[in-house]
């Protein structure tokens, strides 16, 4: 195969692979939002067969010849094509190690498992999901061993979500983080009476909340021609391309902030995907580079922007008017403190910035012990509840608000959770650097996030997967410094609680 033939084959491969990913993504989104509950089995069959087609395409002799030809001419390739080839070759090398029947069976398992998880969560009955979850962990561990037989399986899973991440790096981050956060959390507990958030736990009609979601999407400056919002049990964002990005939320009549910050969080993910460079948008490089970088964006918009005084000044007048008279007695300053209230809680997605990482540490420890054979799925509810008492000092009343609350394990996203905490730490450093270039507070208070979005587009978003995540982060911030995250939290919560 000549170099020109290989380039042509690469273009054809990308089109076919994109079409497959697009179709499978649409089926997943449909299953998580509006598909009938009884449709999981047939969807699992279809997705299993489509994953077989994708597997065969990735590992076919023609694809291998195309990749090897391009690799042999690497010095003649432009930077984008060279990166595409290296990423595709890495994906091929991983895929070829997994027996095709096991790969197809695993995709079908995840589809069925996700449907059972929804039912189990609705009924708060972990026993329904337990056998599926055990199979998901067992299959994930075996696939990790196929990919990297000489590496700890959980390290392989971590690396799949954040290249270069392993348990050693996680421990180096989490151990001192917990040591420094706990004293601050205890100080906040001692001053808990200074912030009263009961005004946000009245009845807020869902129909008005839906209008508010549209208002939020406009403030974020999401392109509504290419981004819609749906409803699901566990909010998520999915991107089929920069021209079709979908966010979801979950409304609760008596919890206004739940959907508020789900929309802003998922909106951060969507902004990233909508601003991938046109030159790579439909290729192997046309998505966010890693989960920690992705979560740094969602956590930045949710917390750094969304829980700022300036953002409150933009959204509070709307809330006060549309939900009158519920918030008539609340001042703008009180609203700011309310949305920054910190207290140990059951639900990760509802957790405040200060205690959030403790929720992640619980999941990290459980995943790691499952992969090391110390636990089985049957042990998870008891260990989950024990760690919530130890780390957060609260009792878990049922499976729905405990071990069943997240969708990640049912989707096979084992090793994802640490990215949330690392992404939160990244966000604090992005803020430090951004402040050197623009007046962040002024931009937010204007009600237009255009310049903040442009800042991220130029430094993060447009590059997609063109660089490794560590390289991309260092291009913007230099060395990763977790202490910046601690300092950010200390400053913010000392001020909120007048410590």
- Choose among 225, 268, 218: nearest CA to 247: 268
Contact 413, 359 (CB under 8 A): no
- Choose among 349, 264, 348, 272: nearest CA to 308: 264
- Choose among 478, 415, 389, 492: nearest CA to 181: 492
Measured between alpha carbons, how far is 396 from 394 in angstroms, rounded to an integer?
7
Measured between alpha carbons, how far is 285 from 340 in angstroms, rounded to an integer?
36
- Choose among 310, 330, 312: nearest CA to 196: 330
- Choose among 499, 354, 356, 496: nearest CA to 421: 356
- CA quadruple 290, 294, 299, 304: dihedral positive or negative? positive
Catalytic residue numbers, as ranges: 266
Measured between alpha carbons, how far is 420 from 134 in angstroms, rounded to an integer?
24
SS3 125: coil
């Amino acid at each position: 195969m000549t170099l020109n033939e290989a380039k042509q084959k690469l273009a054809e491969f990308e089109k076919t692979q994109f079409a497959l990913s697009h179709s499978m993504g649409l089926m997943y989104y449909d299953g998580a939002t509006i598909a009938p509950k009884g449709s999981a089995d047939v969807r699992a069959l279809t997705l299993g067969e489509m994953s077989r087609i994708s597997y065969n395409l990735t590992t076919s002799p023609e694809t291998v010849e195309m990749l090897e030809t391009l690799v042999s001419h690497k010095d003649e390739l432009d930077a984008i094509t060279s990166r595409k080839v290296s990423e595709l070759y890495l994906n091929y090398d991983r895929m070829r190690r997994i027996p095709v029947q096991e790969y197809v069976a695993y995709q079908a398992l995840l589809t069925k498992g996700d449907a059972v998880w929804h039912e189990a969560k609705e009924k708060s009955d972990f026993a329904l999901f337990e056998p599926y979850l055990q199979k998901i962990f067992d299959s994930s561990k075996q696939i990790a061993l196929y990919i990297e037989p000489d590496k700890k399986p959980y390290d392989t899973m971590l690396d799949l979500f954040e290249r270069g991440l392993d348990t050693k790096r996680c421990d180096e981050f989490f151990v001192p983080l917990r040591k420094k956060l706990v004293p601050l959390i205890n100080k906040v507990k001692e001053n808990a009476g200074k912030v009263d958030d009961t005004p946000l736990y009245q009845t807020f009609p869902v129909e008005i909340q839906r209008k508010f979601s549209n208002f939020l999407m406009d403030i974020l400056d999401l392109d509504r021609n290419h981004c819609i919002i749906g409803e699901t049990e566990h909010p998520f964002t999915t991107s089929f391309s920069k021209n079709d990005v979908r966010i979801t939320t979950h409304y609760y009549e008596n919890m206004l902030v739940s959907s508020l910050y789900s929309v802003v969080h998922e909106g951060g993910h969507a902004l990233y995907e909508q601003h991938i460079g046109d030159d790579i948008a439909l290729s192997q490089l046309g998505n966010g580079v890693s989960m920690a970088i992705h979560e740094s964006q969602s956590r930045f918009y949710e917390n750094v922007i969304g829980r700022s005084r300036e953002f409150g000044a933009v959204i509070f007048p709307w809330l006060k008017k549309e939900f009158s008279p519920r918030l008539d007695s609340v001042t703008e300053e009180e609203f700011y403190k309310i949305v920054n209230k910190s207290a140990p809680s059951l639900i990760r997605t509802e957790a405040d910035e200060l205690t959030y990482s403790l929720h992640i540490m619980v999941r990290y420890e459980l995943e790691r012990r499952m992969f090391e054979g110390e636990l089985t799925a049957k042990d998870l509810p008891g260990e989950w509840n024990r760690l919530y008492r130890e780390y957060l000092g609260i009792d878990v009343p049922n499976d729905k608000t405990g071990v069943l609350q997240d969708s990640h394990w049912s989707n096979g996203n084992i090793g994802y959770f640490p990215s949330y905490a690392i992404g939160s730490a990244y966000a604090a450093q992005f803020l430090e650097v951004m402040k050197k270039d623009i007046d962040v507070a002024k931009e937010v208070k204007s009600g237009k996030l255009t310049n903040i979005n442009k800042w991220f587009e130029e430094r993060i978003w447009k590059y997609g997967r063109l660089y490794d995540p560590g390289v991309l982060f260092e291009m913007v911030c230099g060395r990763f410094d977790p202490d910046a995250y601690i300092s950010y939290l200390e400053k913010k919560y000392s001020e909120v609680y007048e410590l």
